Amino acid sequence: MPTRRVVTGRSREPRARFAEELRSLRRERGDSLRQLGERLGWDWSLFGKMEKGETLGGPEVVQALDTYYETPGLLLALWELAVSDKSQFKEQYRRYMGLEADASSLWHFAVSVLPGLLQTEGYAREVLAAGGIKEPQLTQQVEARIGRRELLEGENSPPFRTILSEAVLRTPLRNSAEWRGQLEYLRKMSERDGVTVQVLPFLAGPYGLDSTDVWFLRLAGGHTVAYTENAYGGELIETDGPVERLQRAYDAVRDLALSPAESRKFILRTLEELPCDPST
């Protein structure tokens, strides 16, 4: 079972951070650049340029490196930061991404949009495009987001729980086939070991997180941090008092939510309510 990597104490400039991690991982493995190229099937000079920060490579090669080094999603997350405009990834979000890669468990609440870890390619593309992201960055960020789903795969995956406001499931994509595919994928993931999906129905009434998407990450030693976000920004919260207040609000929402079994039935009913695809 691979060991989760500690990512603190390294460069905070995204491109340099990415190159630094690539160099460190290869040296720890004891490979030369030529050996790495032979084992992964790419020209070794590409890896040399990536480690020098001269090029970032594409998502395919980065995903292959994540698999080879047994760092599920970490390199793709760093790559996503490096290829994106700095205005879209503020310092707090950069730090959050590093902490996410090292978390021992994650839990989350969604007001209106599915968490990236559970998004299909079609869903991610439409949501990111609605936020104003254009090509070629759009395709790059979609591929990176989908690649990060590896965080929930494999024996070393951290437990993940998400509570979805019913609004998330009542806000379809414009493409009905993509929306059906997203709901099917959500249903499938809700049955996966280590992944818990709950739905907060409209009938639950008002609740304390009605305008806040929030992530909680449990780190080594049991310390928990929170990250709240909206369409225009986010805030990393590491102080115990505010984190505990958010956790109490989250616990209250969890008490109002449907059980995991009831939530799977809710997702299935939502699927059954969709108009039939005339092509089937």
- Name the pLDDT band for 279 (thresholds 50, 70, 90): low
pLDDT at 96: 77
Distance CA(115)–CA(170), nearest Å, equals: 15
Contact present, 201 and 166 (Cβ < 8 Å): yes
106 - beta bridge partners? Answer: 160, 217
pLDDT at 231: 63
Q: What is the mean pLDDT of residues 100-105?
A: 86
Using the 8-state DSSP alphabet, how is residue 164 labeled? E
Lowest mean per-residue pLDDT among 107-111, 197-201, 206-210, 233-237: 233-237
If 0-12 CB within 10 Å is exposed, 13-18 middle and 19+ buried, where does residue 255 land? exposed
| pLDDT of 1 strictly over 80 | no
pLDDT at 9: 47
pLDDT at 182: 96
- Name the pLDDT band for 263 (thresholds 50, 70, 90): very high
pLDDT at 8: 45
Tell me how far apart the terminal alpha carbons of the chain are, to the nearest angstrom: 43
pLDDT at 232: 60
Taking alpha carbons only, the member of 93, 78, 81, 83 closest to residue 7 is: 78
pLDDT at 57: 79
pLDDT at 85: 43
Relative orientation angle of helices 91-101 and 74-83, to the nearest 10 degrees: 170
Q: What is the mean pLDDT of residues 123-139?
A: 88
218 - beta bridge partners? Answer: 105, 224
Distance CA(32)–CA(18), nearest Å, equals: 18
Distance CA(256)–CA(207), nearest Å, equals: 9
What pTM value is reported for the model?
0.68
Tens digits of per-residue pLDDT, 20-77? 999 999 999 999 999 999 999 988 888 988 888 777 777 888 999 999 999 988 898 8
pLDDT at 258: 97
| pLDDT of 278 strictly over 70 | no
